[in-house]
C-alpha cells in the first residue's frame, strides 16, 4: 500500500518492490476506489472472481497413441476445405496419407495369456478418436468440395488401408483373423463414408466410390489380384464370432452391435449407416460373383420405418437423381428385380430367416432391437417404403 509519492510522482519503495502491484492511496481522485480494494484484500473478497475451471477436454484424457495421423494436418485440411482454398485438396491428401502411414502402429502383437478377441476390441476402441477426426474431414468434403480430385484422394486412402488386410512381406505365417482390427476399422470407415455422401445427396460421388475398383498390388489376402472391387472391404471377423461364442453373448452379430454402439459418438446416425449398408447390398447383388452382406440389417426390425432415401424415392423427381446410385432406370424396374430375387430364393439368410424384399407394405414406427429377438424376418421392402 502506498500513502504518498515524492515531488516527481514516484512511489517511495525499495527498488526490489517496484515491479510489484500495490494499492495507491496517494491520489485523492481515486482514494475511494483504492480504499475499497484495500478492504476487499483484507477480507479476501476480490471484486473480480476467477471463473470455475471447465470440463477437461477429452483429448487430455486420451492415452498416448490413441490418435492416428497428423492432427495439425487434419485441422489445416478442415480449414482449407471450408474456406475453398486452392491448396485444400493437397491438405486433404496430406492428412489422409498421415493416417494411412500410421496404421502400422495399430498392428496387434499377440500376448501370451490374453484373448485375441479382447485385443481386437481394444484396438478398435483406441481408434475411435481418429475415426471421428476422419469423418469430420469427409463430411466437410461432402458439404463444401465434392470435386473429382477430392473423391480420388478418399478412394486412394482406402486403397492404402486395404494393404493392412494382409501381413507385411516379411511375415510368412499368418491367419486372416490376425488383421481383424484393420478389417473392422476400414469397413466401418467405408460404410460411414458412403453414408455421409448419401446423406449429403451426393449420389454420384457415393456411386463412384462404391463402383470404382481398388488397386492393391500383390496382396496375399486377395489372391494377388491387382484390382479388387470395394466389396472386399466387407470382411467377416472370425475373432468376433469367436468372442460371441466364448463369452456366450448369444448375439446375432457382434460386428453389427459394435457399429451401432459406436454411432453414439459419431455425427452419423445408425439409420444412415443401415441405409448405406442396404445400398451396398443392392449394388453388389446385381454384379456377377459379388456379395455384400448388410450387417446392420439385424437391427431393422419388422416395425422399422421407411429409410429416408428410399421413402423419398416415391417422388419421381427424387428417384431420377437417386437412380445413378441404385442402378435402376425406374422405380418399377427396381420393384420387379426385387420380386425376382424373392421368388428365386436368392436373398441373404440369417439363421433360419431370409430377408423378404418384396412385400408391398410400408412400415410404421421405429424399432432398434435386433429382429431375431422379435422372432421375425427383416423386410427390406419396408425399409424402402414399398
pLDDT digits (tens, 9 = 90+) for 286-325: 888 888 988 888 887 544 567 788 888 888 899 999 999 9
Same-domain pairing of 291 and 360:
no
Same-domain pairing of 294 and 316:
no
- Residue 15's pLDDT is 66
Distance CA 200, CA 203 (A): 8
Q: What is the mean predicted confidence (pLDDT) over 60-81? A: 81
- Residue 27's pLDDT is 73
End-of-domain residue from the set 279, 298, 317: 298
pLDDT higher at 265 or 383: 265
Overall number of domains in the chain: 3
- Residue 286's pLDDT is 86
* Cα atoms in the 13 Å half-sphere on the side-chain side of 242: 12
- Determine contact, residues 171/214, Cβ cutoff 8 Å: no
Backbone angles phi and psi of 56, in degrees to 5? -65, 130
Coil, helix or strand for 59?
Answer: helix
End-of-domain residue from the set 278, 298, 318: 298
Same-domain pairing of 164 and 283:
yes
Cell numbers linked to 328 = 435402376
Model confidence band, residue 87 (pLDDT cutoffs 50, 70, 90): very high
- Asked if residue 167 belongs to a domain, the reply is yes
- Entry pTM: 0.78
E-strand stretches of the chain: 214-215, 227-228, 349-350, 353-354
* Cα atoms in the 13 Å half-sphere on the side-chain side of 176: 11
Q: Could you report how far apart the first and last alpha carbons of the chain are, in Å?
A: 83
Same-domain pairing of 215 and 76:
yes
Same-domain pairing of 385 and 351:
yes
Same-domain pairing of 258 and 372:
no
Taking residue 343's Cβ as centre, other Cβ atoms within 10 Å add up to 9
Q: Which of 129-133, 186-190, 242-246, 355-359 has the lowest mean pLDDT?
A: 355-359
Q: Which domain holds residue 361?
A: 300-386
Model confidence band, residue 45 (pLDDT cutoffs 50, 70, 90): confident
- Determine contact, residues 323/332, Cβ cutoff 8 Å: no
Model confidence band, residue 284 (pLDDT cutoffs 50, 70, 90): very high
Cell numbers linked to 81 = 476445405
Cell numbers linked to 207 = 456411386
10 Å CB burial of residue 354 (0-12, 13-18, 19+) is middle
Per residue in 147-204, pLDDT (tens digit) is: 999 999 999 999 999 999 988 888 888 888 999 999 999 999 999 999 999 999 999 9
Report long-range pairs for 13-21 (Cβ below 8 Å, ≥24 apart). Answer: none
- Asked if residue 33 belongs to a domain, the reply is yes
- Residue 19's pLDDT is 61
- Residue 330's pLDDT is 87
Residue (of 290, 166, 172, 270) closest to 224 by Cα position: 166
Give the mean pLDDT of the chain: 83
Same-domain pairing of 153 and 93:
yes
Per residue in 17-39, pLDDT (tens digit) is: 666 666 777 777 777 887 888 88
Same-domain pairing of 293 and 317:
no
Same-domain pairing of 281 and 304:
no
Cell numbers linked to 324 = 445413378
Distance CA 348, CA 167 (A): 31
- Determine contact, residues 123/61, Cβ cutoff 8 Å: no
Distance CA 287, CA 305 (A): 28
Helix or strand (DSSP H, E) at 214: strand 214-215
Amino acid at each position: 500500500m502506498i500513502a504518498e509519492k515524492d515531488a516527481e510522482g514516484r512511489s517511495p519503495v525499495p527498488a526490489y518492490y517496484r515491479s510489484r502491484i500495490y494499492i495507491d492511496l496517494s491520489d485523492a481522485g481515486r482514494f475511494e476506489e483504492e480504499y475499497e480494494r484495500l478492504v476487499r484484500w483484507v477480507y479476501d473478497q476480490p471484486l473480480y472472481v476467477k471463473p470455475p475451471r471447465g470440463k477437461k477436454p477429452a483429448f487430455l484424457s486420451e492415452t498416448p497413441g490413441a490418435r492416428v495421423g497428423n492432427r495439425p494436418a487434419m485441422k489445416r485440411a478442415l480449414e482449407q476445405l471450408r474456406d475453398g482454398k486452392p491448396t485444400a485438396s493437397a491438405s486433404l491428401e496430406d492428412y489422409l496419407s498421415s493416417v494411412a502411414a500410421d496404421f502400422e502402429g495399430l498392428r496387434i502383437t499377440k500376448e501370451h495369456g490374453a484373448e485375441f478377441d479382447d485385443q481386437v476390441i481394444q484396438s478398435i476402441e483406441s481408434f475411435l478418436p481418429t475415426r471421428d477426426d476422419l469423418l469430420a474431414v469427409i463430411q466437410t468434403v461432402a458439404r463444401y468440395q465434392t470435386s473429382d480430385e477430392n473423391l480420388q484422394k478418399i478412394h486412394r486412402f482406402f486403397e492404402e488401408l486395404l494393404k493392412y488386410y494382409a501381413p507385411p512381406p516379411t511375415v510368412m505365417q499368418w491367419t486372416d483373423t490376425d488383421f481383424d482390427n484393420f478389417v473392422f476399422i476400414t469397413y466401418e470407415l467405408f460404410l460411414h463414408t458412403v453414408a455421409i455422401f448419401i446423406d449429403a445427396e451426393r449420389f454420384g460421388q457415393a456411386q463412384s466410390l462404391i463402383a470404382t475398383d481398388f488397386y492393391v498390388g500383390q496382396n496375399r489376402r486377395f489372391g494377388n489380384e491387382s484390382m479388387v472391387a470395394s466389396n472386399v472391404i466387407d470382411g467377416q471377423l472370425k475373432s468376433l464370432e469367436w468372442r460371441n461364442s466364448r463369452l456366450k453373448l448369444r448375439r446375432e452379430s457382434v460386428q453389427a452391435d459394435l457399429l451401432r454402439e459406436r454411432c453414439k459418438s459419431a455425427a452419423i446416425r445408425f439409420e444412415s449407416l443401415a441405409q448405406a449398408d442396404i445400398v451396398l447390398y443392392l449394388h453388389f447383388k446385381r454384379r456377377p460373383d459379388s456379395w455384400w452382406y448388410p450387417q446392420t440389417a439385424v437391427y431393422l426390425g419388422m416395425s422399422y420405418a421407411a429409410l429416408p432415401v428410399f421413402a423419398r424415392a416415391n417422388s419421381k423427381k427424387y428417384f431420377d437423381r437417386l437412380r445413378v446410385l441404385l442402378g435402376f432406370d425406374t422405380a418399377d424396374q427396381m420393384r420387379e428385380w426385387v420380386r425376382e430375387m424373392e421368388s428365386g430364393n436368392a436373398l441373404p439368410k440369417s439363421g433360419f430367416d431370409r430377408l423378404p424384399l418384396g412385400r408391398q407394405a410400408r412400415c410404421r414406427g421405429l424399432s432398434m432391437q435386433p429382429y431375431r429377438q422379435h422372432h421375425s424376418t427383416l423386410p427390406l421392402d419396408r425399409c424402402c417404403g414399398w
